[in-house]
Structure 1
Amino acid sequence: MTDGDSVRDILRDIWNRACEQGGSGVGDRHLAALILVDNMVQNGGPNHAADSCEPAELAAAARAARYFGLDDVAAFIEDVPQAASDRDDDDAEDRLSDVYFRILPDGSRYDAALAARYAAAPQDFDPTPSG
């Protein structure tokens, strides 16, 4: 196994742990918060995230996006409450969906942000079992 392979394995393990809301490192917690809201948006759009997430969850996800250097994603998350079904802005869902798919057309930005943050501060993430 090359060093690149082992880093990819570590990043995969960190990602998988965060998907299960696991890990106690600051990086793990930020990634879990970001994944929670991103999954809501992917599953049902900004409206689903606005209606399903608590304000504290959205705020944590916005902080997490900034932690990973994704300021445009943080700004998007901060705008998600505009798409709540009890709001009068009927165009918010479409407008925010367009923004989301423009800034996050696939998972590559998250992958790159995690890799960069891990390279800069591996101590922010729980150790992964070697294996």
Structure 2
Amino acid sequence: MGVVTVLLAYNDTPQGNAALEVAVDEATRRGTTLALLCLTAQADDGRADSEAAHAASQLPDALAHPPVVFRTHDQVPADAILDAAERIEPELVVLGARRRPDVGMFLLGTTTQRVLLDSPVPVLVVKGTPDA
């Protein structure tokens, strides 16, 4: 594969969509490819394809290179993100994180914490909208 600079760990959630916007901005600013890793829990319900199609429909034509799309459903999300980061060697990993207004602070989930601690490349965490 060619040089992939920005790896987006995506799921169709408010925080995933916030991360999508930031990842597109980063790829556009860098003039490089965006790798879209669609994370879903179900192997057989078509959700990964649906989420990949939704994310791809949100991508602007202004990207310098067409996105590369990966789908995963058979791995723990942190493992999938870390494996993809090692395999494609991006300059940056982007992922979304939930805000928890009920506790009055920004807390990181286990997936985000593990990726931050174990990623071989820099990680950008994007806060989504507060949970309802």
TM over 0.5: no
TM-score range, shorter chain: under 0.3
TM-score, normalised by the number of residues in structure 2: 0.27
Higher helix share: 1
TM-score, normalised by the number of residues in structure 1: 0.27
* More relative contact order, 1 or 2 (CA 8 Å, 6+ apart): 2
Higher strand share: 2
Pair member with larger Rg: 1
